Amino acid sequence: MIDLPKIVLASASPRRVEILTSVGWPFEKQPANIDETEIDGEAPEDYVVRLAREKALAVAGDRPDEIVLGADTTVVVDGCILAKPSDLDDAKRMLRILSGRSHFVLTGIAAARGGEVESALERTRVDFCEMSESEIEFLAVKGDPLDKAGAYAVQAQAALFISGIEGDYWNVVGLPIGTVYRLIMGSKKRPGGKTPG
């Protein structure tokens, strides 16, 4: 038997809540409030890992004896980040970009205890079929895109238009739970984990 340690989830994402709940991981939620502005010239991989670390550390400051999980997910096409759309027109713009192309979903995760943090990055490729304007309209209106990076949810209406996934499916949903397990169970053995040098 393994003993999953209770964690504090530094996120308000309902998808992350659902994934942790589905695997029976004990947790409570305390969303972090940080500035998510990109830094000029910052690579998307560095961006998501930085935000995950900042979220975890922001909450860990209040809860130094607990394991705090921070995560940040974004969609990347040709090196450009597609964050959460600002409105339905922006969602349609993003879906037009994704139509008939491959893109990457990047998630940075970080496990913090006290002032120390360990982080990891998960990358998954997603292939979209060509979508007509009526299909894009359907996905934008029915797919509840405004709180989702890249304006879609792989586990909902967007599944109709996805032709392939290479990598961790749960990463595309919003939390690569296998990577979280390996990160936290590894850091649990070393109090507070380690800060990569």
What pLDDT score does 193 carry? 40
Instruction: Name which residue leads in pLDDT, 193 or 7.
Output: 7
pLDDT at 194 over 50: no
Tokens 């120390």, residue located: 116
Tokens 């004896």, residue located: 65
**Is 72 among the residues known to form the active site?**
yes
| pTM metric for this prediction | 0.90
From the candidates 3, 35, 72, 78, give the one annotated as an active-site residue.
Answer: 72
Q: Please give the Cα distance from 88 to 100 (Å, whole number).
A: 20
Mean pLDDT of 116-128: 97
Residue 197: band (very low, low, confident or very high) from pLDDT cuts 50, 70, 90: very low
Write out pLDDT tens, residues 172-182: 999 999 999 99
By three-state DSSP, how is residue 152 classified? Answer: coil
Write out pLDDT tens, residues 24-48: 999 999 999 999 999 999 999 999 9
36's CB contacts (< 8 A; 6+ apart) are: 51, 72
pLDDT at 187 over 70: no
